[in-house]
Amino acid sequence: MAINRWDPYREVFTLESRFKPLFRGFDQGAALTAGFVPAVDIYEDAEKVVLKLEVPGVEEKDLDVRVEKNTLTVKGKRSFEKEEKEENFQRIERRYGSFHRSFTLPTSVDAENVDAKYNAGVLKLELKKKPEAQPKQIKVNVGKSLAA
């Protein structure tokens, strides 16, 4: 029977090696390839649902907006300019790469009536509500008696 020397740190090193892949990409160089998640504001009024996504630096041709069934999907890509790669960067904090956001639409939204506008790095999506989902005002007649 062989005698093995006990190493109190063996389990720690084993645990570290198992966790390393989870944290790969959090260093500064990974900022060039890691994707980003654009911030979004969502609000609703009587006639429409509006989403505003912050996507500065994303060109219009790199945006893909789709509605399938009751899901709105926005995909895009922000590329790192090749000319800038040769610069001597001290710090890179902006994220580059692809993003993908999906939103479940309420049944009151008309999926065939979507308007998309892109201005100053903000993608604005307006989804009109179905006519039956919009509130209807009822006129109240004043001065008429109920007994008549």
| Strand pairing class (48-54; 122-129) | antiparallel
| Strand pairing class (122-129; 97-104) | unpaired
- Does a structural domain hold residue 143? no
- Does a structural domain hold residue 147? no
Range of the domain at 40: 10-133
CATH number of the CATH domain containing 38: 2.60.40.790
How would you write the pLDDT of the chain (148 residues) with one tens digit per residue? 677 777 777 777 777 777 776 665 554 444 444 578 899 999 999 899 999 999 998 998 999 999 998 899 999 998 876 655 556 767 777 778 889 999 999 888 998 899 999 999 999 999 999 888 667 778 888 876 666 5
In which residue are the tokens 């899901």 written? 71
